[in-house]
Amino acid sequence: MNSVAPELSFGLWEHVSLKHIEEKSVMPSSNWAARAFQKTFTNVFQPRGIHARRRRRRRPVQRISLESLEPRQMLSVNPAFSGSSASSANDSSSIAAFVSQNTIGILSTVSNSPTSVVAVSGNAQLAVTWVAPTNTGGSPITDYLVKYSSNSGSTWTNFVHPVSTALSCTVTGLTNGTSYVIKVIAKNAVGISLPSANSAPVIPAATVPSAPTSVVAVSGNAQLAVTWVAPASTGGSPITDYLVKYSSNGGSTWTRFFPSSGLPVTTTSCTVTGLTNGTAYVIKVIARNAVGISLPSSNSAPVTPLAAALTPTFGSTTATATGFTVQITNYNAAYTWAGTATASGTVVVSGTGFVTVSNVAAGTS
């Protein structure tokens, strides 16, 4: 809305400048709801226009200037319609009003400021919390504006985030090692509050990495071949190495694996040696950067190292009256055996792998 001259032409909508209402007006401190702040005036017709003439109160009252509530000092007033609305010429109005005949009543105002703004350091970000305004101005809070400054408040940058009435957010995109202060502004249907007091200065910094994931172990002879996925976040500092640990009691106690080379594990795989065949193990992996170590990964599934299976071999045969005998080397009693003799002979394999073939007719191979 354009600004107006002190003297206004008559029309259906009268633009009444608050500069015309010089008397201080009542504002009860207990409530900012409808009619909590009211100003009564009458229109006086003069040859050059309309002015607002106030009705003075006879007793002392708590007073506040309307001008202190509205930077543009302007309301659009339609006295012809009872209950019609009045709005500010300023898009960021600090008051909302109703009009009933010749009475302007304040319906709501901007809220009080948020308080207790606290920022906690993270990797190129700050986790910010605050306390809601104690007074919403008679209109519900619809959003919070969060701003940050890297020069102690000389200039501010608005942190763009979805509209929300939550009392926390994470301000991202900051620079590690730079000090920031935060302020928060409440918004309601009328406009925005005064900003909160600045938070204490906080410096974003690199953190420990997130945990490695997807740890898998594959059985070998007295060893396990282990692989994993690198952390989703390095914490802002490169991964320097991984700590690989194993447990033979389901994770009650752990032993760190040190490669025989004496070098740290810097890739996402290694072979854990020196284990006991037949014993089940679980593995966990921890990432490390210049700041410190991550939380451990989830444990791998239990895996049991086993000796490599040996190929059975037959020794020299020894003839008997009705057949022959032979010793099997690399024999394992757990193996499944099947022997077939020709010409109605029989085959027996002992628990030690000694094979006896008997009842074979003479001359039969």
Do 105 and 19 belong to one domain? yes
Do 241 and 321 belong to one domain? no
pTM of the full predicted structure? 0.53
Residues above pLDDT 70, as percent of the chain: 65
Do 29 and 105 belong to one domain? yes
Looking at residue 352, what is its pLDDT? 83
Do 150 and 127 belong to one domain? yes
Query: In the predicted model, is pLDDT for residue 101 greater than 60?
Result: no
Question: Does residue 199 lie in a domain region?
Answer: no
Answer with the one of 188, 223, 243 that is the final residue of a domain.
188
Query: Domain of 328?
Result: 313-358
Give the Cβ contact number of residue 282 at 10 Å: 21
Do 339 and 254 belong to one domain? no
Query: In the predicted model, is pLDDT for residue 37 greater than 60?
Result: no
Q: What is the pLDDT of residues 58-77, one digit of tens each?
A: 433 333 333 333 332 233 33
CA distance 196 to 113: 5
Query: In the predicted model, is pLDDT for residue 317 greater than 50?
Result: yes
Do 19 and 77 belong to one domain? yes
Question: Does residue 101 lie in a domain region?
Answer: yes
Question: Does residue 96 lie in a domain region?
Answer: yes
Looking at residue 347, what is its pLDDT? 82
Looking at residue 338, what is its pLDDT? 64
Do 120 and 99 belong to one domain? no
Do 24 and 80 belong to one domain? yes
Do 184 and 119 belong to one domain? yes
Query: In the predicted model, is pLDDT for residue 363 greater than 70?
Result: no
Q: How many domains does the chain have?
A: 4
Q: How much is the average pLDDT of 252-277?
A: 95
Q: How much is the average pLDDT of 241-250?
A: 97
Query: In the predicted model, is pLDDT for residue 216 greater than 70?
Result: yes
Question: Does residue 351 lie in a domain region?
Answer: yes
Do 164 and 96 belong to one domain? no
Q: What is the pLDDT of residues 116-128, one digit of tens each?
A: 999 999 999 999 9
Query: In the predicted model, is pLDDT for residue 202 greater than 60?
Result: yes
- DSSP bridge partners of 281: 303
Domain CATH for 159: 2.60.40.10
Q: What Cα–Cα distance (Å) separates residue 269 from each residue in 61, 198, 221, 275, 328?
A: 79, 48, 17, 17, 39
Question: Does residue 22 lie in a domain region?
Answer: yes
Give one word for 271, left, alpha or beta, with left for phi > 0 and alpha for psi -120 to 50: beta
Do 28 and 64 belong to one domain? yes
Do 123 and 90 belong to one domain? no
Average pLDDT, the chain: 75
Encoded tokens for 224: 């396990």
